[in-house]
Structure 1
């Protein structure tokens, strides 16, 4: 009868492959705290994101494979996650405690970019990630309203602003620093300074993801963010119609110019299903986001249908992923968040390339 050893357990677990990183979970170093006490085996599987869509399948496979070994009486598997710190250019200054910065951008306004950013951030927090949301849309900072925090004011700890928190997400926005309806009229260097302050003068704490809701277009804020800190990647939001898609193409090329990876494309307001008849209507056309992703060989992160639930959630300050979690819109946002987390992990786990003294 063969003896139960750590190596025999690891050999069994090496049959499980991460579908994104294309290596087995033992080689990737995911197995932690392996213990064998008589016939009782316990270990942790530490994934690269708490939003992993296949963690339940991995847990089941691990329990079954180890359970088949001779001498095993019980198997205890704990699923855990440690989000890897994103790579970045060597001349960029990281934000203390922040592991990955993700920009959410669009080429034009009116495509629901902030809605996507808010529901994506809250979805990641619901999955157990530590999430911050920086509202860099200084001309239309409405994220606090969408999170029910429109009247909140940040505290000051020493010389740092403390983010307000809503639904497990740490938030900073110009709307909570400059309340009221007065417009903010700033350009160029002042905008650069505002972005820098939001990054360096805010006590973000330990975050797995800092989601940055960008203003629409390809202007100063986008360039400032790319110049100041290592952005792990950009999520591009569009509607299916060509007018929106053509603007997103410009945003995509802008991020490529400043060496920010494209994590993928989200098609928002993708279609509408009439609640009384179940008939689907492609109000803004069909498939524009997916065609864009295919054209530029970037991931398609998902399609989010139109629905009153999303608008009602934004107006009431209760995001649809919280207020109506079983709705098709909420489920679509949860899948988008999972896909974004996957792409961040894939980017972070890529080997670094050193070019002209800079890590890529």
Structure 2
């Protein structure tokens, strides 16, 4: 029987097959070019490079969403800032692999910064003393530049970020991914799952059924790729007025009695981590690169975020 690469797609023909790297199932696989060229027997050499580079990274957390516009990047920013704020004696890194839409440099207030390269690799940009960021946004001449790349080039850049960035010792590497289930997700899951330490994913949704439909697909993707699912966060669940604290539902559920996201989690046997209310001050902070966790520490959003981060931390330290 033809040997299959580690974490291969469901219908992988195997490295010894004449269709290796050429079958429909090979599309988007980070091992595709290696298999097609016959250079390797089932394993991308980049996997070992990533494993060596991330040997001192204890936990890897991937933030996913089934569709765009649900606040995945905003919550990546908030979760990482909350982690760094609550755990000042730990070190955190954020990797922005949304190659075509890198938004973390602006949200962290470091737009226009440049990364430096030395003998030990690329140095990430430090946001706080215990929080650093790497994004392709730092490598562009202008934030308005469009990145028009096919899958293999995206995969190569992700491999570089994981194997050539000098993350040093991290308690958490938090990965902001693009929406959907595409090349970037296949690459990261292949590389990260081969590393030591714990790996898990948090999925972001909004209350509408159209969003939950895509989250179900994302859950199925994670299960097929053996990506551990920590749980689902419902973003923009309600709007709480900053002045009068009146709560309103912007995206009402199908049922008045049952939370649709929570019910979906029960149906698909995944954890429901909590609901993040909508706060207009958050958008302003993200646009201006300010730390919402410090600027508005009394916000209901921050209170819920700290509870969710505690649940994520409990998973990794169980």
In the superposition, the TM-score normalised over structure 1's length comes to: 0.68
Query: What's 1:83 paired with?
Result: none
- Runs of 5+ unmatched residues, structure 1: 1-88, 347-360
Query: What's 1:121 paired with?
Result: 80
User: How do 1:185-204 residues align onto structure 2 when only pairs under 5 Å count?
Assistant: 185-204=148-167
Query: What's 1:311 paired with?
Result: 283
Shift of 1:341: 1.0
Native 8 Å contact 1:130 1:206 kept in 2: yes
Shift of 1:343: 1.6
User: How do 1:29-44 residues align onto structure 2 when only pairs under 5 Å count?
Assistant: none
| Post-superposition CA distance 1:262-302 (Å, at most 9, x none) | 00001111101234554322111242322222222222111
User: How do 1:43-192 residues align onto structure 2 when only pairs under 5 Å count?
Assistant: 93=51, 95-128=54-87, 129-167=90-128, 168-180=130-142, 181-192=144-155
| Post-superposition CA distance 1:150-181 (Å, at most 9, x none) | 12111212150000111331100010111411
Inter-partner Cα distance in structure 2 for 1:324 and 1:278: 14
- Runs of 5+ unmatched residues, structure 2: 1-46, 254-258
User: How do 1:4-15 residues align onto structure 2 when only pairs under 5 Å count?
Assistant: none
Native 8 Å contact 1:306 1:329 kept in 2: yes
Query: What's 2:206 paired with?
Result: 239
Native 8 Å contact 2:242 2:279 kept in 1: no
Query: What's 1:73 paired with?
Result: none
Native 8 Å contact 1:310 1:319 kept in 2: no
Which one of the candidate residues 289, 295, 298 is aligned to 1:326?
A: 298
| Post-superposition CA distance 1:296-351 (Å, at most 9, x none) | 222211111001121011011013112211111122222221111112223xxxxx
Which one of the candidate residues 205, 209, 213 is aligned to 2:172?
A: 209
Native 8 Å contact 1:265 1:298 kept in 2: yes
Per the alignment, in what secondary structure is the counterpart of residue 99 of structure 1?
Answer: strand
Show structure 1 runs of 4+ deviating over 3 A: 274-279
In the superposition, the TM-score normalised over structure 2's length comes to: 0.77
Inter-partner Cα distance in structure 2 for 1:248 and 1:193: 27
Residue 226 in structure 1 maps to residue 189 in structure 2:
yes
Residue 302 in structure 1 maps to residue 274 in structure 2:
yes
324-333 vs 303-312, greater mean Cα deviation: 324-333
Inter-partner Cα distance in structure 2 for 1:343 and 1:309: 30
Inter-partner Cα distance in structure 2 for 1:318 and 1:328: 18
Number of residue pairs aligned between Structure 1 and Structure 2: 258
Query: What's 1:288 paired with?
Result: 260
Native 8 Å contact 1:130 1:169 kept in 2: yes
